[in-house]
Amino acid sequence: METAQRIKNIPPYVFVELDKKIQAVSAKGMDVINLGRGDPDQPTPPHIVEAMRQAVLDPANHHYPPYGGTKEYKQAMAEWMDKRYRVKIDPSSEALSLIGGKEGLHHTILAFVDPGDYSLIPDLAYPVYNTSTILAGATPYFLALKPENNFLPDLESIPQAVLDKSKLLMLNYPHNPTAAVADLGFFEKVVYFAKKHNLLFCHDLAYPDMTFDGYKAPSALEIPGAKEVTLELHTLSKTFNMTGWRVGFAVGNREAIKTLGMLKSNVDTDIFKAIQIAAIAALKGPLHHIDTCNKLYVERRDIVINALNELGWQIKSSKGTFYLWIPIPRSFNSWEFSYFVLEKTGVVLTPGPAYGPGGEGFVRLSLCLPKERMQEAMDRLKQHSITFDLAKTKV
């Protein structure tokens, strides 16, 4: 059997490789504390679950859903954008259902880049940005995200020769994996840049409500004229603790919505109606769980930061997402350090290069476990003297 060349071209999915290491450590009887997964530990709010339960019982929802989302779901998307961001969306032409953010990202890339094109993606980013570009036959052009620039890209540094062969610019703030945030001033520059260079700007807004210390994440569509060049992807995974439900939506430029919808109609059959009904209940229902969850994340964040700083790190508080982006001891590379910590303490940290070449020298830590487990993980690091100045000669 001969595998397609496109499959041979993509790198192994990092979390599969990491899971093999985790399983090996678990097989030895060690209690593993997994701080590598970005999956909320709190349940989906009860009113959403109840809406789903009732919808499943109705035989009218057991048939194929309409392509692009039900009229009611698209209306709920538009109302959410108006309520949350004061952005006006035409539900009939500027809104589209997605089977989660990952699917939306993949199909957006397939819809807008061809072999020979560049896809402008951050270095660092969710791995799908890179792998889907490769699957589309295009070439990723990595935009460096550096600590000294607050992990924001320098768009003006992109060579004109690259821009001439680019159609798509992808960004994500609040940012996975670095937890960096951006303000409206930054998005104003991005929209101007996209217009100047005839690019579609895809903003992957996966963590809009997971924000702390007074920061509120904007939508890129708040910028006047942004809809001329912007497609924004939303997911209910993090805001509503619905990672397993696989439901989200795209809003913005109507031509981009039409193109993405055309592709999707040929490769998927949209979201089960009952899940769309549950999503409507989420978007229209009470939101008090957001503050509750964010208080938990802040409490866990502070436990980790205080512990790491006691061990020699100099970590600053994050204002968004449930991640921390942590520099590693200089004598290790990221994979070595991640595996060393796992084997020594049973604590899982994701190696930075999983998110791009610029991730070398870092690991990502997730805040998705109860504070008792977070504290236990930090106690294990302290017990085993995992300090910032740790040297290989000491281990």
Domains in the chain with CATH codes: 5-43+288-394 (3.90.1150.10), 46-284 (3.40.640.10)
pLDDT of residue 223: 98
With 0-12 / 13-18 / 19 or more C-beta atoms within 10 angstroms meaning exposed / middle / buried, residue 35 is: buried
pLDDT of residue 341: 96
CA 193 to chain centroid, in Å, comes to 23
Burial 231-241 (b: 16+ CB within 10 A, else e): bbbbbbbbbbb
**How far is it, in rounded angstroms, from Cα 352 to Cα 359?**
4
Can you read off the two tokens belonging to residue 392?
């290989």
The answer to whether residues 220 and 187 touch, using CB atoms and an 8 Å cutoff, is yes
Angle at 208 between CA 202 and CA 210, to 5 degrees: 145
Q: How many CB atoms lie within 10 A of CB 266?
A: 8
* Run of H or E residues at 140: strand 139-144
The answer to whether residues 237 and 275 touch, using CB atoms and an 8 Å cutoff, is no
Can you read off the two tokens belonging to residue 96?
């589209």
**pLDDT digits 0-9 by tens, 227-268:** 999 999 999 999 999 999 999 999 999 999 999 999 999 999
- The stretch 103-114 carries a mean pLDDT of 97
**How far is it, in rounded angstroms, from Cα 308 to Cα 311?**
5
With 0-12 / 13-18 / 19 or more C-beta atoms within 10 angstroms meaning exposed / middle / buried, residue 268 is: middle
pLDDT of residue 7: 86
Does pLDDT of 139 surpass 80? Answer: yes
pTM: 0.95
pLDDT of residue 251: 98
pLDDT of residue 198: 97
Percentage, residues of the chain above pLDDT 70: 99
Does pLDDT of 174 surpass 90? Answer: yes
**pLDDT digits 0-9 by tens, 306-348:** 999 999 999 999 999 999 999 999 999 999 999 999 999 999 9
Q: How many CB atoms lie within 10 A of CB 279?
A: 29
Does pLDDT of 8 surpass 90? Answer: no
Can you read off the two tokens belonging to residue 335?
């994979």
Helices (H), ranges, the chain: 5-9, 14-27, 46-57, 71-85, 101-112, 128-135, 160-163, 184-196, 254-267, 273-284, 288-310, 334-345, 371-383
Does pLDDT of 394 surpass 60? Answer: no
- The stretch 367-373 carries a mean pLDDT of 97
Could you write out the DSSP letters of every residue in 73-98? HHHHHHHHHHHHH-----TTTSEEEE
Please, what is the average pLDDT of the chain?
Answer: 95
**How far is it, in rounded angstroms, from Cα 73 to Cα 237?**
16
Does pLDDT of 221 surpass 70? Answer: yes
**How far is it, in rounded angstroms, from Cα 254 to Cα 68?**
13
Nearest to 38 by CA among 355, 376, 391: 355
Q: What is the largest CA-CA distance in the chain?
A: 66
Nearest to 214 by CA among 84, 320, 55: 320
With 0-12 / 13-18 / 19 or more C-beta atoms within 10 angstroms meaning exposed / middle / buried, residue 139 is: middle
Q: DSSP state, 121?
A: E
Q: How many CB atoms lie within 10 A of CB 78?
A: 20
Is the bond leading into 40 cis (omega within 30 degrees of zero)?
Answer: no
pLDDT of residue 392: 66
Q: 12 vs 49, which has greater pLDDT?
A: 49
The answer to whether residues 284 and 66 touch, using CB atoms and an 8 Å cutoff, is no
Percentage, residues of the chain above pLDDT 90: 93
Does pLDDT of 384 surpass 60? Answer: yes
- Residues with Cβ within 8 Å of residue 253, at least 6 apart in sequence: 94, 200, 227, 228, 229, 230, 231
